Structure 1
Amino acid sequence: MTLGQRMRHFRTEAGLTLEQLGADVGVAGSQLSLMENGRREPRLSLLGAIATRLGIELAELLDDRAPTERAGLEIELERAQSNPVYAQLGLPVVRAGKGMSDETLRALVGLHRELARRSREAIATPEEARRANTELRARMRERDNHMAEIDDLVEEALRGVGHSTGALTHRSVSLMAERMGFELVYVGDLPHSARSVTDLENGRIYLPPASIPGGHGLRSMALQAIAHRMLGHEAPNDYAEFLQQRLEINYFAAAALMPRTQAVNFLQQAKSDRDIALEDFRDAFGVTHEAAALRFTNLATAHLDMRVHFLRVGGDGAIAKAYENDGLPLPMDVTGSVEGEIVCRYWSARRAFVRTNRTTEFYQYTDTPSGTFFESTQIGTSAANDEFSITIGVPFDDAKYFRGRETTRREQSRCPDASCCRRPPADLAAHWQGKAWSSAKVHAHIFSPLPSGTFPGVDDRELYEFLESHASS
């Protein structure tokens, strides 16, 4: 649509009709009309001929910016009316013809913006988030958590900055940003709800200073911001699209920090040696244990022929993140969501909390109704000083490839059978029933809708005030 608008803009500036320009470049005027209206994509050779006839550079014709404010509004109106949110209303499509005034066009676009805002606000609830996340997890399970197209894109980008081996440096990340036309800027006043902010007008990516707690993750934050641009993301239409984009940028960052070729070679060698250890994989690429575990799930099935599961579980036993394609019976609510569900207290993800030495990985075999799994768990602590566990597990037959397989720890889980670990023993229940009272902790976010805005969770006013304050610096 933008290309068509630019063709029309430069044609009218040159004082040519569709028929006149078509005659000069050997195309019927009706065909040019389809191109200008965004209904047909012209060949590059034809665009070159059009640019030459109009006396402009081809790059000027291919610029992705609308040529005028009016053209930008027309494009926005057409996109808005093609959105499913508008289609659900059953209203006719309004064309922004020459007879429509700029004021009318601005009013229509403004109404669509408000419709989109209210739609986001209505659906950005915990229930909608859980539903969208459940659907996304199911789609990624079908793909074995593998996105080869992003791996291909990342490897090309890394070659472009000369990175081939070793840990990815901050310098290489900066060069990747520069190749996209962006400068990395470290500031101490980011909006509290944003991890990073990209100024598309001035070509800047704002990140927190490296001295803050967790500053070691700046490479990942910068890569995620770069990924939005490289993957062609636009403002999400709904929460499901927001989650899809977040998954893609996280995958992109992990693929850059642990490039496919290097990572697969490392893991295949470890498998050959029957010595796969997540701590080795983590240390080889200088990333966090959680990042290494998630990247392992990206590559294990596609390149190592292994089915796997991943869990991040809080100290209270609640699932924060989960993935499985090996049949592990994850706890689910009636909607199929697993986030917030409590895992069996006999799983490695919870048993690891009770040991004294937490500096090394905890190994365990767990018998479940779906079979026996070998699991490796590491305990970590969040910035808020809350403990969590990171677990990678595989079916029993693949345990032979992992370090720690000699462990004698073995637990039996009958969950989801409530008699496994959810119900108290009969003697305790008989003794304390009716004699106990407790005041439960209630997390405030359970009752709160997600902050609404262009980007779920980020306050638009705070975001725009931040950009305005830095635009002139």
Structure 2
Amino acid sequence: MVKSVSPLRVAALEPLSETSAGEPPGRRGLDALSVGRRIRHHRRARGLTLAQLGEAVGTAQSLLSQVENGKREPRLSLIAAVAEALGTTPADLLDPAPPPNRRAALEIELEQAQRSPLFRSLGLPRVAPSSKLPTEALEALVALHGELARRHDASNATPEEARRANTEIRLLMRAVDNHLPEIEELAEEMVRAAGYTVGALTHRQVARMAQELGFSIIHVDDLPHSTRTVTDLAHGRIYLPPASIPGGHGLRSLALQAIAHRILQHERPASYTQFLRQRLEINYFAAGCLLPRSAAVEFLSAAKADKDLAVEDFRDAFGVTHEAAAHRLTNLLTSHLGIPVHFLRVGDDGALYRGYENDGVPFPQDASGAIEGQPVCREWTARTVFDVRNRTTENYQYTDTPAGTFWCSSQTGSTEHGGFSITVGVPYAHAKWFRGRDTRVRRRSSCPDASCCRRPAAQLEERWADAAWPSARLHAQTLAPLPSGRFPGVDDVEVYEFLTSHAPRPDATGSPG
């Protein structure tokens, strides 16, 4: 049986909610409101009042009222007693399937909407979904809450909100050295159960992990363009592309990310911040499986002892991309080897697309603290590597900055959208552990001082300032809001039509074939 980990509680980055604090691990998925509404449905169907049911099971009417309204989670002993009194079974009352009728479903939706932070922020009085409230009124209230939530999400689905959320998560991860121990343990447990011992995790072992969760992996060539994978929860299928997609996302990694959503019990993200946190978790889990902690730390410790740490060796030992190996180092170097580190993915246009640091390197930031899209100093290794002719191996450089001297290793790659560099660096004092520490390449950076590389030379500015009129390329994404489907960036119509076309067809008995 696969154990589960609640979203980002693994790193204590998010406090427990009121409804889940103190719950036993096996019951965190229990929806108290749904259980309560099922009890109410069966009670009314048998013509019993709360007082009569309370007398039958030896429980106070007030307690049963709290249970039916989802304000209190019933003990299993009470569930059993209520089920017997109502002529049903505990399994029926605890069934995660949809509510028994439309009225119950509407009552649950209204209760859940009125418990949301959005509703509480409005300061409006709560409407009790009592039996006296007409079903038509319930329909209207639920629809209004749905539209309110949709408009709230749309107003927040902006590049500014995305950057704010990304900055918040980056700072939280820096505070824990980019290390999530519980996901590490879970990934290790999963790969060992699938038969992993050493070296690269195989596709067969990934398939076994999916089977353990009741899923089969199916490769298709018509995935919706807005998705990397699609999981059919109804039929236990994970759909993947037929071959690796551009950018280094291998099939193993894609499958592991889809598996991670299930293992970590992710629910549909209610905000862009939650969406990004889930993305971080599934990426972390995939990395923890492809480069399992025990084997990875053993490999890195031996390399450190030999003073021969190298991203390319780490990459080759586990059969992953250079970027995956470099990013995995940020999870392990500080927590297990005591080495502070930074990581950058920089486009050939000089923009920083992804970054992490806990070693004090001065990343470029905007006024909000966001680093994404900011221009990296032209003197940094991540930029100078594009001028190197031999790009087949790692390139090394020392860079003197206002925050100290850093040693860095960079490697370039390319996608259909252009070139990029992957850089891993450490403070000067820790360069002694790495291959390439003897490089004589050294640059000096005074960024964020504009005179370093952002301000043109005086003679060039004098010559061209009034004679140049470039036509700037418009980055349309800076003007467009984020897509507002059930999942950010995903076209719901495409996904649902795709699932319909690939769903198993019923056989002659009416069961899925």
Regarding TM over 0.5, the answer is yes
Cα RMSD after superposing both structures: 2.4
Q: State whether residues 381 and 387 of structure 1, in contact with CA within 8 Å, keep that contact through their aligned partners in structure 2.
A: yes
Of 318-327 and 418-427, deviating more is 418-427
Does residue 383 of structure 2 align to residue 354 of structure 1?
A: no
Instruction: Give me the whole-angstrom Cα distance separating, in 1, the residues matched to 2:157 and 2:312.
Output: 37
Question: What stretches of structure 2 of length at least 5 have no aligned partner?
Answer: 1-32, 506-513
For residues 101-156 of structure 1, what are the alpha-carbon distances to aligned partners after superposition, in whole Å with 9 as ceiling and x for unaligned?
33332222222222222112111111221122112211111122112222233233
2:134 is matched with which residue? Answer: 101
2:165 aligned residue (107, 132, 156): 132
- Paired position in structure 1 for 2:122: 89
Q: Is the 8 A contact 2:378 2:384 kept in 1?
A: yes
Tell me if the contact between 2:219 and 2:241 (Cα under 8 Å) persists in the aligned partners.
yes
In the alignment, is residue 411 of structure 1 matched against residue 436 of structure 2? no
Q: Per-residue CA shift, 1:48-104, capped at 9, x if unaligned?
A: 555566666654443322332433332222222222222222212222222233333
Letter paired with 1:407: T
Match of 2:219 in 1: 186
- Code of the residue aligned with 2:434 in structure 1: it is F
The CA distance in 2 between the partners of 1:215 and 1:184, in whole Å, is 20
1:37 corresponds in structure 2 to: 69
1:225 aligns with 2:264: no
Please report how far the alpha carbon of residue 463 of structure 1 lies from its aligned counterpart in structure 2 after TM superposition: 2.1
In 1: Cα distance, 2:88 partner to 2:299 partner:
51
Q: Between the two proteins, what is the percent identity of the paired residues? A: 61
User: What is residue 6 of structure 2 aligned with on the other side?
Assistant: none
- What secondary structure does 1:181 align onto? coil
* 1:167-193 Cα shifts (integer Å, max 9, x gaps): 222222222223323232222222111
Q: Distance in 2 between matches of 1:19 and 1:162?
A: 56
- For residues 255-274 of structure 1, what are the structure 2 equivalents within 5 Å? 255-274=288-307
- Counterpart of 2:350 in structure 1 is 317
Q: Give the one of 96, 110, 116 matched to 1:77.
A: 110
Select the residue among 343, 366, 370 that pairs with 2:399: 366
Cα offset, 1:444, TM superposition: 2.0
CA apart distance, 1:425: 2.1
* Residue 120 of structure 1: aligned partner: 153
In 1, the alpha carbon distance for the partners of 2:373 and 2:201 equals 34
Q: 1:386 aligns with which of 400, 408, 418?
A: 418
CA distance, structure 2, for counterparts of residue 164 and residue 2 of structure 1: 43
Whether the aligned pair in 2 keeps the contact of 1:121 and 1:453 (CA below 8 Å) is no
* 1:280 paired residue among 306, 313, 316: 313
SS at structure 1 position matched to 2:324? helix
In the alignment, the residues of structure 2 paired with residue 146 and residue 442 of structure 1 have an alpha-carbon distance, to the nearest angstrom, of: 38
Q: How far apart are the structure 1 equivalents of 2:119 and 2:107?
A: 16
Matched, 1:471 2:503: yes
Distance 1:53 1:268, change over 3 A: farther
Q: Kindly provide the amino acid, as one letter, of the partner of residue 120 in structure 2.
A: A
**Aligned partner of 1:381: which letter?**
S
SS in 2 for 1:284: helix
**Separation (CA, whole Å) in 1 of partners of 2:108 and 2:305:** 55
- Rate the CA distance shift 1:157–1:40 in 2: closer, same or farther, 3 A: farther
> 3-state SS of the aligned residue for 1:184?
strand
State the one-letter code of the partner of 2:478: I
1:194-246 Cα deviation digits (max 9, x unpaired): 11122223332222223765696122112212222222222222212211111
Shift of 1:339: 0.7
Cα distance, 1:107–1:330 mapped onto 2, change above 3 Å = same
Asked whether the 8 Å contact 1:348–1:366 carries over to 2, the reply is yes
Q: Which residue of 2 aligns with 1:243?
A: 276
Q: 1:35 to 1:262 in 2, by over 3 A?
A: farther
Q: CA deviation at 1:26?
A: 5.2
Secondary structure of 2:122's match? coil
Maintained 8 Å contact 1:310/1:392 = yes
Partner residue of 1:460?
A: 492
TM-score between the two structures when normalised by the length of structure 2: 0.85
**Aligned in 2, Cα 1:413/1:171: closer, same or farther, shift over 3 Å?**
same
Take 2:327 and 2:72, find their aligned partners in 1: how far apart are those partners? 42
| Structure 2 CA distance for aligned equivalents of residues 439 and 304 of structure 1 | 50
Deviation of the 1:10 alpha carbon? 4.9
Letter in 1 for 2:501: S
The aligned counterpart of 2:234 is 201
Question: How many angstroms apart in 2 are the aligned matches of 1:160 and 1:44?
Answer: 32
Gap change, CA 1:446 and 1:162, over 3 Å in 2:
same
Cα distance in structure 2, aligned partners of 1:5 and 1:161: 40
User: Counterparts of 2:222 and 2:214 in 1: how far apart (Å)?
Assistant: 23
* Letter of the structure 2 residue corresponding to residue 33 of structure 1: S
The more displaced of 144-153 and 156-165 is 156-165
Change (3 A) 1:433 1:457: same
Distance 1:402 1:5 in 2: 61
Shift of 1:23: 5.5
